[in-house]
Amino acid sequence: MNQQDMAAKIAAANGFIAALDQSGGSTPKALRGYGIEEDQWSTEDEMFDLIHHARCRIIRSPSFANGKVIGAILFEKTMDGTVDGKPVPRALIDLGIVPFIKIDKGLEAEADGVQLMKPMPGLDALLERAKGLGVFGTKERSVINAANPKGIAAAIAQQFETGKQVLAHGMMPILEPEYTIKAPDRAEGEAIVRAEILKQLDALPQGRQVMLKLSIPVVPNFYRELTTHPKVLAVVALSGGYTTEEACAELAKNDRLIASFSRGLLQDLRAHQTDAEFDETLGAAIDQIHRASTQKVSA
């Protein structure tokens, strides 16, 4: 697949994007969920070797290549690694899966109800390296905790500024201003999020497109205007702390919204499973998430 093929595959939205991008701070939690406790490694390198092995196991699994996963988001160390002797992005492309890379370096302390992204030194060099490996796009996450207009405007503006830097390298940014699903004012805040995103989209030059990764809205189809916007390649949803069942039930109520799940995809995978058990478990999750992404129900 070339860049044009990858863009067409994502725009067609006949599947979902797997989020395999747990990084330094979230890796121990991801490993615990996989059944590997912290006493099973002693250095950061050993920790990352364990999570890389888990990700390679997912990529090798026959169910992962059944055509229902159309993209995968990688952590930088995963991007730089190999699976069966191939660079990971190339292995994904060979399976028909579009590779993305997580570029944010974590979150600032909360201010005005949001957590902005920390500075990203060396981002231009990372983008060039990723592009050279065949990576199609990026993902960058900030968090919204309250319906504070000033904070939300700052978070959305920062997302788009970073997105413009990504676009300048000929890559596709996934902008992710995650709204905390347990926030009591989320419905009110999502109206501010939508308005700020539309304002930023209007300011983008003609012919430019971004992707959006958003929490599944409180009101079904609340983001329909974004999913049909000419400057949006696709809108994907995060599972955001929901179980797979909860996330899929909510996602299925939203037309043209496809999944980009992490916990919702991986929650039942365990290191002790046989390869057959692992593939069966992963395949069941993939089927469930694919249905919610492509077969919609009335809210």
pLDDT for position 37: 87
Binned at pLDDT 50, 70 and 90, residue 33 comes out as confident
Q: Domain for residue 224, yes or no?
A: yes
Q: Which long-range contacts (CB under 8 A, 24 or more apart) does 115-119 make?
A: 115/142, 115/143, 115/145, 116/142, 116/154, 116/155, 116/158, 117/141, 117/142, 117/158, 117/159, 117/162
Q: Name the residue range of residue 71's domain.
A: 3-294
Q: Domain for residue 197, yes or no?
A: yes
Average pLDDT over residues 263-273: 90
Q: Domain for residue 204, yes or no?
A: yes
Give the total number of structural domains in the chain: 1
Q: Domain for residue 284, yes or no?
A: yes
pLDDT for position 192: 98
pLDDT for position 23: 64
Q: How far is CA 96 from CA 199, 256, 257, 285, in A?
A: 34, 21, 21, 19
Q: Domain for residue 91, yes or no?
A: yes
CATH of the domain at 48: 3.20.20.70
pLDDT for position 26: 74
**3-state secondary structure (DSSP) of residue 292:** helix
27-31, 66-70, 134-138, 214-218: segment of lowest average pLDDT = 27-31
Q: Domain for residue 126, yes or no?
A: yes
pLDDT for position 24: 56
Q: Domain for residue 210, yes or no?
A: yes
Whole-model pTM: value is 0.94
Q: Domain for residue 299, yes or no?
A: no
Average pLDDT over residues 101-122: 96
pLDDT tens-place string over residues 44-66:
888 888 988 999 999 999 999 99
Residue positions annotated with a catalytic role: 176, 213
